[in-house]
């Protein structure tokens, strides 16, 4: 953890001074908190890892006590066997910064984690506190709320308001092994589970890809090493589209398909699109329609990494590409048809989704 796609850092105002701090871990189990404005060290804290582990590997700024970004989740894998990030510890950042009480708020050693990336946090029920999200959902107090009946392991995980008819947010998890199923669940229950011919979904994008349908859609990439075959479910778990990537990808696009996948608010209209890069190579970047697979934009690149976020200020999202030691930013040059919408960063879940994501994209 967090993997080759992971930033390994968190950025948030963790002390309430209206300025951003940057947090990261080093291999000696030291948490570093530095000033975002100048990089000066504010605090270093040694945090012992749990029995059965080699050291903390992943950190997420969280809100477990209802005080905003003033808590911290640490995660790590087991020291022996197939590594899974089942160990968690929650801390009060207020206590860590004061150096008064270094005891965790709670710990767990049974978290059902993604196989290849870190835990997520989100306020699922709107009570002002974050849950911890994996194949198990853990309450802000560290209590087990839900465990999905998975038979293999989770490849990737997402959180969104897939079903507006159900209060709160939902989690989408993709299973590898067992039935290769897609699960939709919340802090109370599994809402549905489905599959498409038991083909492994592996990675996904969740978004409003068809505004004529209620709720959000779940686009699944498929597992194939070459000649990917994406498929799409609606908010009820019903299949609504499937196609072969070879039939829709631009000329010269790698036959290995796409990776580093993000839904994107590109046009300013209700319909979201999907941003991707060429798979298993420093390659081009594309934006396509999830339901048809039609590529609407292609950017000639040598993209090693890809990130999507609202950075220009008109609430639409831009594409950020890491090309060698250069950062390239692509924006939509067309006029925004809905300028009066608030920036996406005003949404708590949007901020959380940009702090952690599915780093591993095989």
162 with 185: CB under 8 angstroms?
A: no
Task: Give first-to-last CA distance, the chain, whole Å.
Answer: 15
The CA distance from 357 to 362, in Å, is 14
pTM: 0.95
Decide if 48 is inside a domain: yes
Decide if 127 is inside a domain: no
What's the pLDDT score for residue 61?
98
What CATH number is given to the structural domain containing 73? 2.40.10.480
96: left (phi over 0), alpha (psi -120 to 50) or beta: alpha
Tokens found for residue 19: 């300025």
Q: Structurally, how many domains does the chain consist of? A: 1
166 with 186: CB under 8 angstroms?
A: yes
Decide if 49 is inside a domain: yes
Decide if 52 is inside a domain: yes
Per-residue pLDDT in tens (0 to 9) along the chain, 362 residues: 455 556 689 999 999 999 999 999 998 999 999 999 999 999 999 999 899 999 999 999 999 999 999 999 999 999 988 888 999 999 999 999 998 889 999 999 999 998 878 899 999 999 999 999 999 999 999 999 999 999 989 999 999 999 999 999 999 999 999 899 999 999 999 999 999 999 999 999 999 999 999 999 999 999 999 999 999 999 999 999 999 999 999 999 999 999 999 999 999 999 999 999 999 999 999 999 999 999 999 999 999 999 999 999 999 999 999 999 999 999 999 999 999 999 999 999 999 999 988 876 66
Decide if 335 is inside a domain: no
What's the pLDDT score for residue 1?
46
Decide if 294 is inside a domain: no
Decide if 76 is inside a domain: yes
- The per-residue DSSP string of 313-337 comes to SSSS-EEEEEETTEEEEE---SPPT
What's the pLDDT score for residue 308?
98
Burial code (b: 16+ CB inside 10 Å, e: under 16) for 51-73 equals eebebbbbbbbbbbbeeebbbbb
Q: Where is 156: in which H helix or E strand?
A: strand 153-160
The CA distance from 302 to 274, in Å, is 19
Domain of 6 in residue numbering reads as 1-111
Decide if 273 is inside a domain: no
Three-state SS string over 183-251 comes to EEECCCCEEEEECCCCCCCCCEEEECCCCCCCCCEEEECCCCCCCCCCEEECCCCCEEEECCHHHHCCC
């Amino acid at each position: 953890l967090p993997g080759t796609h992971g930033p390994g850092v968190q950025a948030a105002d963790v002390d309430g001074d209206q300025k951003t701090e940057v947090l990261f871990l080093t291999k000696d189990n030291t948490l570093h908190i530095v000033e975002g404005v100048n990089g000066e060290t504010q605090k270093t804290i040694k945090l012992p890892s749990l029995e059965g582990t080699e050291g903390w590997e992943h950190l997420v700024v969280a809100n477990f006590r209802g005080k905003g970004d003033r808590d911290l989740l640490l995660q790590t894998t087991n020291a022996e066997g197939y590594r899974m990030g089942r160990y968690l510890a929650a801390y009060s950042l207020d206590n860590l910064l004061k150096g008064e009480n270094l005891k965790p708020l709670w710990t767990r050693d049974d978290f059902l984690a993604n196989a290849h990336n870190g835990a997520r946090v989100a306020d699922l029920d709107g009570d002002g506190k974050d849950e911890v999200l994996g194949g198990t959902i853990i309450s802000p107090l560290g209590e087990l709320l839900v465990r999905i009946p998975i038979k293999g392991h989770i490849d990737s995980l997402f959180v969104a308001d897939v079903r507006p008819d159900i209060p709160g947010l939902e989690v989408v998890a993709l299973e590898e092994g067992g039935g290769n199923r897609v699960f939709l669940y919340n802090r109370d229950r599994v809402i549905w589970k489905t599959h498409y011919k038991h083909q492994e979904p592996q990675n996904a994008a969740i978004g409003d890809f068809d505004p004529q349908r209620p709720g959000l859609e779940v686009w699944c990439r498929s597992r194939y090493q070459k000649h990917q075959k994406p498929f799409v479910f609606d908010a009820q778990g019903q299949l609504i589209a499937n196609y072969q990537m070879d039939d829709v990808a631009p000329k010269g696009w790698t036959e290995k398909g796409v990776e580093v996948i993000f839904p994107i608010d590109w046009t300013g209209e209700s319909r979201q699109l999907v941003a991707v890069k060429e798979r298993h190579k420093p390659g081009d970047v594309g934006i396509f329609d999830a339901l048809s697979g039609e590529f609407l934009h292609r950017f000639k690149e040598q993209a090693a990494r890809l990130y999507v976020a609202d950075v220009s200020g008109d609430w639409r999202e831009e594409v950020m590409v890491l090309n060698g030691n250069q950062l390239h930013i692509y924006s939509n040059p067309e006029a925004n048809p809905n300028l009066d919408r608030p920036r996406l960063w005003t949404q708590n879940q949007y901020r959380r989704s940009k702090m952690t994501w599915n780093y591993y994209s095989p």
